[in-house]
């Protein structure tokens, strides 16, 4: 029987294929007593499970592609080491004998006590190791429970050409899956501007989030159609639907091909206002997509992805190497390297530095620049690498999540120290490298005119600006309905930022996802924005709209919208400008 399920379409595109289900749900642990006579058998069952877990990990490690961009092997090796540790191999056996309990129960007792010890540790790195323990234990519990699959592992071979259905996916999972050639994904949780959704758009993978309770209705290998435009998944579609969606796929392809004709055209409104249009990237590998669309600069390079899916921190040389690759590919065009924005939904290097899942409200906690200023071990190698890279091309450095001048002064002082260090070491850097700041905390938007004189450029990060202005978690589908770029408060803050920067003659851009949404381009032009940085998939579409717009009248429209209180009226006005 064919039917459809509805969620939130977060990455446009259509995919047709077989479902691959990823289940992160914890296994239910049964607890029962084992008669003395059967204790040896129970121990043997546990030891077999350990051996199977080891085999699974080895087989996963063998299948890591040679060209993997992330240190997957180190991640698997850490789990293999844990499987050799007596804490997980010997102690549960002692517990089986001591309490005459089943293997699952013994393992659970031991896992709980290890995790308790780790949680009590002062050192945030060690405290965060509990995630690894939990993952290894879950693997063994699943085997004891009788699951024969090797569970979701990023290097799962069967991912190619499938449509992944999962409860939730981290940005790290998404990178792994893209590497393995998935066609699309759908999750039960997640919001429009979660980093997972942003990655999907950036990687061009059709995606739907917020498909609550989809799991019971969809089976592995079911054929589905993912409509990332409408946020609908069609399960076991009939021939007519398949024909219709195949036709839509062909149309989409034709539309993309037609768009590529404007690749080399300048970005300029019909009445001659030049607009800067740059691209957002996450990896040096994204430069291929930038080249494909003809992007002539990077307005946001999210460097935190260098920290994901690995157990060790990248050192200065690794940073430098990544930045150099981007700079070389740009051939003299500008790149805006944003310093590490780790924390909240970007849990990287096992959240070792930001308290991980034990933090009640990570989006308001030690994230981005707050974390970097607290952890020089993270920050300094990156700053050194950015400064050194500045000698190779047009590099600009941008600081995320700043909420006031004080943080900027602190960063400037560290940068100054590093410059002195580099000079002493006779290492080259650009002493005039532009230094910029993101406007993504309401405090910063309100005070843009006060902060702008101290920086060389600014960029509005609407993903966070909206989250913090409207007090809604950008990754939570339950409040996604409130996530509205057209909320008068958001529009007023954007206007304040643009005016504040312009007043003191500082360039301001927008690199949040609002800039990548074709519906808002004319409104943003009307609000005075002259520089956009967008994801590679949206680039040509945004360029087309800019090139088809007349500045005349847009400022008046924007003014009218700023004075409108009802969101429905704002949407109507927007339709008029977009007509």
Query: Which positions touch ligand PEP (CB under 6 A)?
Result: 198, 300, 302, 341, 440, 461-464, 511-512
Contact assessment for residue 528 and residue 555, using Cβ atoms and an 8 Å cutoff = yes
Q: Which two tokens stand for residue 182?
A: 């998935």
8-11 and 207-209 beta bridge pairing: antiparallel
SS3 content of the chain, % helix, strand, coil (to 5): 55, 15, 35
Between 13 and 461, whose beta carbon lies closer to ligand PEP? 461
CB-CB neighbours of 479 under 10 Å: 15
Binder of residue 211, out of Mg ion, ligand PEP, none (CB less than 5 to 8 A by kind): none
Binder of residue 530, out of ligand PEP, Mg ion, none (CB less than 5 to 8 A by kind): none
Is 101 in the active site?
no
Between 302 and 352, whose beta carbon lies closer to ligand PEP? 302
Helix orientation angle between 130-145 and 103-119, rounded to the nearest 10 degrees: 170
CB of residue 400 to ligand PEP, shortest distance in Å: 6
Q: What is the 3-state secondary structure (H, E, C) of 458-497?
A: EEECHHHHHHHHHCCCCCCHHHHHHCCCCCHHHHHHHHHH
CB of residue 201 to Mg ion, shortest distance in Å: 15
Binder of residue 512, out of Mg ion, ligand PEP, none (CB less than 5 to 8 A by kind): ligand PEP
Please identify which of the residues 195, 278, 319, 354 carries the catalytic annotation. 195
Binder of residue 343, out of Mg ion, ligand PEP, none (CB less than 5 to 8 A by kind): none
Between 402 and 540, whose beta carbon lies closer to ligand PEP? 402
Size of the chain, expressed as the number of residues it contains: 579
Binder of residue 142, out of Mg ion, ligand PEP, none (CB less than 5 to 8 A by kind): none
Between 468 and 557, whose beta carbon lies closer to ligand PEP? 468
Between 92 and 314, whose beta carbon lies closer to ligand PEP? 314
Between 194 and 549, whose beta carbon lies closer to Mg ion? 194
Is 354 in the active site?
no
CB of residue 466 to Mg ion, shortest distance in Å: 10
CB of residue 440 to ligand PEP, shortest distance in Å: 4
Q: From CA 162, how far away is CA 17, in angstroms rounded?
A: 6
CB of residue 45 to ligand PEP, shortest distance in Å: 46
Q: Which two tokens stand for residue 164?
A: 């992944």
Contact assessment for residue 393 and residue 428, using Cβ atoms and an 8 Å cutoff = no
Contact assessment for residue 471 and residue 521, using Cβ atoms and an 8 Å cutoff = no
Q: From CA 565, how far away is CA 567, in angstroms rounded?
A: 6
Please identify which of the residues 101, 372, 447, 511 carries the catalytic annotation. 511
CB of residue 364 to ligand PEP, shortest distance in Å: 14
Binder of residue 511, out of ligand PEP, Mg ion, none (CB less than 5 to 8 A by kind): ligand PEP
Q: Which two tokens stand for residue 359?
A: 């933090």
- Please report, as ranges, the residues that interact with Mg ion according to CB under 5 A: 440, 461, 464
Contact assessment for residue 302 and residue 65, using Cβ atoms and an 8 Å cutoff = no
Rg of the chain's alpha carbons, rounded to an integer? Answer: 25
What are the beta bridge partners of residue 224? 17, 235
Q: From CA 15, how far away is CA 223, in angstroms rounded?
A: 11
> E strand or H helix at 79, and its extent?
helix 72-83
Q: Active-site residues: which are they?
A: 195, 511
């Amino acid at each position: 029987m064919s039917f459809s399920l509805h969620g939130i379409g977060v990455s446009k595109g259509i995919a047709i294929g077989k479902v691959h289900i990823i289940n992160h749900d914890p296994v239910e642990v049964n607890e029962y007593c084992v008669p003395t006579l059967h204790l040896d058998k129970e121990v043997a069952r546990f030891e077999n499970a350990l051996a199977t877990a080891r085999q699974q990990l080895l087989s996963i490690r063998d299948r890591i592609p040679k060209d993997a961009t992330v240190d997957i092997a180190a991640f698997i090796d850490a789990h293999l080491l844990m499987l050799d540790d007596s804490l997980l191999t010997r102690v549960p056996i002692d517990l089986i004998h001591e309490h005459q309990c089943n293997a699952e129960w013994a393992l659970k007792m031991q896992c709980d006590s290890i995790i308790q010890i780790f949680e009590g540790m002062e050192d945030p790195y060690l405290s965060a190791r509990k995630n690894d323990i939990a993952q290894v234990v879950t693997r063994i519990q699943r085997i004891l429970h009788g699951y024969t699959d090797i569970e979701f592992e990023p290097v799962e071979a069967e991912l190619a050409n499938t449509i992944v259905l999962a409860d939730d996916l981290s940005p790290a999972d998404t990178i792994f899956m893209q590497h393995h050639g998935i066609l699309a994904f759908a999750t039960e949780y997640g919001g429009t501007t979660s980093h997972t959704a942003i990655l999907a758009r950036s990687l061009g993978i059709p995606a739907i989030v917020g498909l609550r309770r989809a799991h019971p209705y969809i089976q592995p290998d079911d054929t589905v159609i993912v409509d990332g435009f409408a946020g609908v998944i069609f399960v076991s579609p009939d021939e007519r639907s398949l024909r219709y969606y195949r036709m839509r796929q062909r149309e989409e392809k034709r539309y993309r091909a037609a768009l590529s004709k404007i690749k080399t055209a300048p970005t300029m409104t019909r009445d001659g206002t030049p607009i800067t249009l740059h691209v957002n990237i996450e990896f040096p590998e994204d430069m291929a997509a930038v080249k494909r669309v003809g992007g002539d600069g990077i307005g946001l390079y999210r460097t935190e992805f260098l920290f994901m899916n690995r157990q060790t921190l990248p050192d200065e040389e690794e940073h430098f190497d990544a930045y150099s690759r981007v700079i070389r590919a740009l051939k003299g065009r500008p790149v805006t390297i944003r310093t590490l924005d780790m924390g909240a939904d970007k849990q990287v290097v096992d959240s070792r530095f930001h308290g991980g899942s034990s933090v009640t409200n990570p989006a308001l906690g030690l994230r981005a620049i707050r974390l970097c200023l607290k952890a020089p071990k993270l920050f300094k190698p990156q700053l050194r690498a950015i400064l050194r890279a500045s000698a190779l091309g047009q590099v600009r450095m941008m600081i995320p999540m700043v909420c006031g001048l004080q943080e900027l002064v602190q960063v400037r002082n560290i940068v100054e120290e590093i410059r002195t260090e580099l000079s002493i070491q006779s290492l080259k850097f650009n002493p005039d490298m532009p230094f910029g700041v993101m406007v993504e905390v309401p405090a910063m938007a309100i005070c843009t005119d006060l902060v702008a004189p101290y920086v060389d450029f600014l960029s509005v990060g609407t993903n966070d600006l909206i989250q913090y202005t409207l007090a809604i978690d950008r990754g939570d589908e339950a409040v996604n309905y409130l996530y509205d770029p057209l909320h008068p408060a958001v529009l007023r803050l954007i206007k304040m930022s643009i005016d504040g920067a312009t007043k003191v003659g500082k360039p301001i851009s927008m690199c949040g996802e609002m800039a990548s949404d074709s519906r808002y381009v004319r409104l943003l032009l009307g609000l005075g924005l002259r520089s956009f940085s967008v994801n590679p998939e949206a680039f040509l579409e945004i360029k087309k709209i800019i090139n088809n717009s007349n500045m005349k009248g847009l400022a008046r429209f924007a003014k009218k919208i700023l004075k409108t209180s009802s969101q429905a009226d704002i949407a109507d006005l927007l339709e008029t400008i977009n007509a």
